């Protein structure tokens, strides 16, 4: 992972993380790590249960480390164990000890939060409602603030979001 700057994309359901990660990878001629949870839900035909959360977070991290080997300067990570932990607290009111430890390893060069400012769109099993999306967005902001993790909220249309990130990463590009 030497020389690769990892960029975390966090945000609530239906806030554009995956779309933005793919667009940023194209814009910066690199790769991105898709959200494993989406694959899990599509493959299993259901949402995860509590004891599956740690495995989901671990798989996300394993894929991130594998993608870093082929990334070009930046690696865009569509979610992190921090989001898995936030959703675990949201749905079950707790975390298992290992997920709590994994969530604390938020070691990214940049953290982006996708604003829930587009129309909410259900996509089947994984999305609940705009009300849940807004609540989770607030939780993401609270956790980042509490942990003093620097972040930028990206807003607007996809081209506007890409331009916001381009400006942020301009310094890192040298």
Burial label, 148 (beta-carbon count in 10 A; 0-12, 13-18, 19+): exposed
**What pTM was estimated for this model as a whole?**
0.91
Q: CATH assignment of 5-173?
A: 3.40.50.300
pLDDT (tens digit per residue) in 35-54: 999 899 889 988 899 999 99
Domain residue limits, the chain: 5-173
Place of tokens 């705009």: 130
**Cα 66 to chain centroid, rounded:** 17
What residue spans of the chain are helical by DSSP H?
17-27, 36-44, 53-68, 81-92, 97-103, 130-146, 158-173
Q: Mind listing the pLDDT tens digit for each residue in 89-113?
A: 988 989 989 999 999 888 899 999 9
């Amino acid at each position: 992972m030497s020389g690769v700057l990892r960029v975390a994309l966090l945000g609530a359901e239906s806030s554009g993380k995956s779309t933005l990660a793919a667009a940023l990878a194209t814009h910066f001629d690199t790769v991105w790590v898709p959200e494993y949870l989406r694959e899990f839900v599509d493959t299993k035909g259901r949402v995860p249960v509590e004891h599956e959360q740690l495995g989901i977070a671990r798989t996300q991290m394993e894929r991130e480390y594998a993608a870093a080997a082929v990334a070009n300067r930046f690696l865009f990570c569509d979610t992190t164990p921090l989001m898995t932990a936030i959703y675990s607290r949201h749905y079950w009111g707790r975390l298992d000890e290992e997920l709590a430890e994994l969530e604390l390893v938020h070691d990214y060069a940049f953290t982006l939060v996708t604003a829930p400012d587009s129309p909410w769109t259900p996509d089947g099993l994984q999305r609940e409602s705009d009300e849940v999306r807004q609540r989770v967005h607030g939780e993401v902001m609270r956790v980042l603030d509490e942990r003093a993790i620097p972040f930028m909220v990206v807003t607007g249309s996809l081209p506007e979001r890409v331009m916001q990130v381009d400006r942020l990463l301009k310094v890192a590009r040298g």
